[in-house]
Amino acid sequence: MSGTTPEYAGPADGETGFDRPLHFTLPGRNARGRVVRLGPVLDTILSSHAYPAPIRRLLAEALTVTALLGTLLKDGLGQLTMQAKTEDGAVELLVCDYRAGELRGYARHDRSRLDELGPTPSLFSLFGEGFLAITFDLASTNQRYQGIVPLEGASLAEACERYFAQSEQVPTLIRVAVDNTPGDCLAGGILVQHLAEGEEGRERLHVRMDHPEWDHVSALAGSISHDELLDPALGLETIVWRLFHEEREIRVETGAALTRGCRCSVEHYRDVLSRFPAVDRVEMQNDEGLIVVDCAFCSREFAIDIPD
């Protein structure tokens, strides 16, 4: 894939909401949600890698889910990390993270095993018996919450729904659509959650996944189509309005713009390498005495010199 910036026929942001999530709440239903449509940011991230189509699609889906989950963080500098891991699948590791509007991600896979799976492999055939770990790192309090669930379901979105049900006891609906055109990849997603018995942060003593209020909201949200999530002519507010226009009140708020962000730097790698034993570092050096490392997220190469 080329590294050029793609051009879009539609508006870059604003009404169509490319790379800028929309937050919404339905106060009368104790529900909150996010809608996001990834455009240029997705191509920027994907263009760092020459992934085959099934991996591109998987990573696009993962980045969309990561954006939806990341924007739930109230902590402005908190980080959301999504990791999918397996011992026996064609995809060995998938990592995406979100911090303050910055998204990044990569997938490590076995090309020959992937090719055996055909053009549209299922989540199970990609990962086998895998696990999904979702980690919320809160910068303000230095707290870390991690939940790990089996990687089950037809999609990553479904596996994440199970994470919220099992690890957090929060009924959650996630839908993601991906248009996997190389160099012009688009993805759209919606997340809706029921905050049992009221306000965010309140302790949930009696969790009911079958709350009638939630049944209603999830049925409405679940009626969204792939085409609606992807259609650049359909603004994010229009989507929310279409789904919930019969509700007494819908509050919407524009979220922070999404960009590709990577935190790799010479200093970062020098710090990592300095923790290796000196003898190992010598083995890693090239003829010029430099250690060449490349960032898994953005494929940038760094030549690091470490003074003895």
Number of Cβ within 10 Å of residue 5's Cβ equals 11
Tell me the CA distances in angstroms from 18 to 95, 232, 255, one per residue in order: 22, 8, 11
Looking at the Cβ atoms of 211 and 268, the one nearer to Zn ion is 268
- Minimum separation from the CB atom of position 113 to Zn ion (A): 26
What gap in Å lies between CA 21 and CA 26, rounded to an integer? 17
Cβ proximity to Zn ion: between 26 and 94 the closer is: 94
Paired tokens of 50: 């020459």
Quote the least distance from Cβ 14 to Zn ion, whole Å: 29
Query: How many other C-beta atoms lie within 10 A of the C-beta of residue 137?
Result: 19
Tally of CB atoms within 10 A around 295: 18
The least distance separating Zn ion from the CB of residue 110, rounded to whole angstroms, comes to: 22
CB of 108 or CB of 202, closer to Zn ion: 108
Distance separating alpha carbons of residues 58 and 305, to the nearest angstrom: 36
Give Dmax (Cα) for the chain: 70
In the complex, least distance from residue 105 CB atom to Zn ion, rounded to whole angstroms = 11
Q: How far is the CB of 251 from Zn ion (least distance, A)?
A: 36
Q: For Zn ion, give the closer residue by CB, 244 or 297.
A: 297
Question: What's the closest the beta carbon of residue 104 comes to Zn ion, in angstroms?
Answer: 7
Compare residues 30 and 81 and give the one whose CB is closer to Zn ion. Answer: 81
For residue 146, give the H/E element and its range. Answer: strand 143-150
CB of residue 112 to Zn ion, shortest distance in Å: 27
Give the single-character DSSP code of 28.
G
Backbone phi, psi, residue 148, to 5° = -125, 130
If the CB atoms of residues 116 and 294 are measured against Zn ion, the closer one turns out to be 294
CA distance 38 to 25: 21
Q: Nearest Cα to 178, choosing from 227, 114, 121?
A: 227
How many other CB atoms are there within 10 angstroms of residue 273's CB atom? 16
Q: At what angle are helices 156-163 and 53-70 packed, to 10 degrees?
A: 30
Axis crossing angle, helix 236-244 with helix 212-221, rounded to the nearest 10:
130
Q: Give the nearer residue to Zn ion in terms of CB position, either 61 or 97.
A: 97
Is the separation of the CB atoms in 172 and 195 below 8 Å? no
301-304 and 291-294 beta bridge pairing: antiparallel
Q: Which is nearer to Zn ion, 63 or 174 (CB)?
A: 63
CB of 155 to Zn ion, least distance (A): 27
- Binding-site ranges for Zn ion (CB under 5 A): 262, 264, 295, 297-298
